Chains A and B, each alone.
Chain A
Amino acid sequence: MSALKRFFLSRLLREKLMLVLFVALVAIVWLVNFSSRTSRSWLEYRTTRNELAQQKQWLASRESIENSAVQAVKNLDPAQTLDDTRLVGELQTLARDLNLKFLNDAPQTERTANFAVHTVQVTIPRGEWEVLYNFYVAVARRSPYIGITQFSLAADRSNRQLLNASLRISSVEIVR
Chain B
Amino acid sequence: MTLLRTFRAGPPPLKVILLPDGVFFTRTITIAQGSTALDVNAQVELALETLSPFPPAQLYHGFYWPPGAEFALVFAAYRRRFTNEQLEGWESAELVMPTFAALLGGDIRSETTLIIPSAEGLTALYFAQSPVPTKVVFRAMQPDAIDADWTRAREQLATAVPTNRAVVVNAPPVAIAAPNDREIAFQAEAFTSRLPLTVSAALDVRDKDALAGLRRARNRDLALWRGFLALVALLFLLAAGEFLLLAAAGWSRTRLTQITAQRPVVERIMLAQSVTTRINELSTKRLLPFEMILQVMGPKPESVTFLRASTVGLYGLNVEAESTSPAAPSAYQAALSALPAVEKVEVRDQRARDNLLTFTLAVTFRPEIIKPGTPQ
Say if A and B assemble together.
yes
A residues bordering B, Cβ < 8 Å?
A: 2-9, 13, 16-17, 19-20, 23-24, 26-27, 30-31, 34, 37-38, 41, 44-45, 48-49, 51-52, 54-55, 58-59, 61-62, 65-66, 68-69, 72-73, 75-76, 110-113, 115-117, 130, 133, 136-137, 140, 143-155, 160, 170, 172
Task: Flag whether B46 is at the interface (Cβ < 8 A).
Answer: no
Report the bound CA distance from A136 to B376 in whole Å: 12
- Which residues of chain B are near A160, meaning CB under 8 Å? 305
Q: Give the Cβ gap from A170 to chain B, nearest Cβ, in Å.
A: 6
- Judge whether B232 is part of the interface by a CB distance below 8 angstroms: yes
Against A, the Cβ 8 Å flags (1 = close, 0 = not) of B225-240 are 1011001101100100
Instruction: Say whether B248 faces chain A, with CB atoms less than 8 Å apart.
Output: yes
Contact A9 B311 (CB under 8 A): no
Assess whether A26 is in contact with B235, with CB atoms less than 8 Å apart. Answer: yes
Q: Does the CB pair A110–B309 fall under 8 Å?
A: no
- From the candidates A5, A62, A76, name the one contacting B225 in the complex (CB within 8 A): A5
B224 in contact (CB, < 8 A) = yes
Question: Given that A31-B238, A48-B256, A69-B272 are known contacts, is A38 also in contact with B245, CB under 8 Å in the complex?
Answer: yes
Q: Which residue of A lies closest to B227 (CB)?
A: A20
Residue of B nearest to A37 (CB): B245
A38-B245, A150-B310, A151-B287 given; 5 more Cβ-contact pairs under 8 Å: A23-B235, A76-B283, A111-B275, A117-B275, A153-B308
Return A100 CB to nearest CB of chain B, in Å: 15
Q: List 26 A-B contacts (CB under 8 A).
A: A7-B3, A7-B6, A8-B224, A9-B225, A20-B228, A34-B238, A34-B241, A34-B245, A41-B248, A41-B252, A48-B256, A51-B259, A52-B255, A61-B269, A65-B273, A68-B280, A115-B279, A117-B279, A143-B283, A144-B284, A147-B287, A150-B310, A152-B311, A155-B307, A155-B308, A172-B282
Minimum CB–CB distance from A34 to chain B (whole Å) comes to: 5
Q: Which residue of A lies closest to B271 (CB)?
A: A112
Cβ of B63 to closest chain A Cβ, rounded Å: 26
Contact partners of A34 in chain B: CB under 8 A = 238, 241-242, 245
Name the B residues within 8 Å of A136 (CB-CB).
289-290
| In-complex Cβ contact of B11 among A2, A51, A54 (8 A) | A2
Residues of A within 8 A of B90 (CB): none
Residue among B232, B234, B282, B284 with most chain A CB within 10 A: B282
The 7 closest A-B pairs by CB, nearest first: A151-B289, A152-B310, A147-B282, A144-B283, A2-B11, A154-B308, A72-B279
Residue contact B269 to A23, C-beta cutoff 8 Å:
no
Cα distance, A5 to B286, chains bound together (Å): 84
- B82 in the interface (beta carbon within 8 A): no
Complex CA gap A41/B290 in Å reads: 55
B268 at the interface (CB under 8 A from A): yes
Instruction: Check if B12 sits within 8 Å of A6, measured CB to CB.
Output: yes
CA distance A149 to B278 in the complex (A): 9
Q: Which B1-20 residues have C-beta < 8 A from chain A?
A: 3, 6-7, 9-12
Given A27-B234, A72-B279, A147-B282; A8-B12 close (CB under 8 Å): no
In the bound assembly, the distance between CA atoms of A95 and B235 in angstroms comes to 78
Contact call B252/A23, Cβ cutoff below 8 A: no
Query: B252 contacts A152, CB within 8 Å?
Result: no
Give every chain B residue within 8 A of A24 (Cβ-Cβ): 231
Residues of A within 8 A of B376 (CB): 130, 133
Contacts of B305 in A (CB 8 A): 155, 160
B308 nearest in chain A by CB position: A154
Per-residue A-contact encoding for B253-292, CB less than 8 Å = 1, 0 else: 0011011001101101111111110111111101101100
Determine if B212 is an interface residue (Cβ-Cβ < 8 Å). no
Q: Which of the residues B11, B235, B269 comes within 8 Å of A27, measured between beta carbons?
A: B235
The CA-CA distance from A38 to B287 in the complex, in Å, is 51
Asked if residues B269 and A143 are in contact (CB atoms below 8 Å), the reply is no
Question: How distant is the Cα of A65 from the Cα of B273 in the complex, in angstroms?
Answer: 6
Q: Which A residues are in CB contact (< 8 Å) with B280?
A: 68, 72
For the complex, give the distance between the alpha carbons of A41 and B252 in Å. 9
Cβ of B225 to closest chain A Cβ, rounded Å: 5
Bound complex: CA of A48 vs CA of B255, how far in Å? 7
Question: CB distance A154 to B259 under 8 Å?
Answer: no
Give B268's nearest chain A residue, CB to CB.
Answer: A112
User: B94 to nearest A CB, angstroms?
Assistant: 10
Residue B367 lies at the interface, judged by CB distance under 8 Å to chain A: no
* Distance from B15 Cβ to chain A, minimum over Cβ atoms (Å): 9
Contact A58–B270 (Cβ < 8 Å): yes
Q: B293 on the interface (CB 8 Å rule)?
A: yes
Q: Which residues of B contact A172 (CB under 8 A)?
A: 278-279, 282
Given the interface contacts A147-B281, A152-B308, does A20 sit within 8 Å of B266 by beta carbon? no
Evaluate whether A110 and B278 lie within 8 angstroms (CB atoms) in the complex, with A149-B287, A154-B308 already known: yes
Query: Does B249 lie at the interface of the complex (its beta carbon under 8 Å from any beta carbon of A)?
Result: yes
- Asked if A68 contacts B269 (CB within 8 A), the reply is no
Bound form: Cα–Cα A2–B283 in Å? 84
Residues of A within 8 A of B107 (CB): none
Cβ-defined contact, A41 with B245, below 8 A: yes
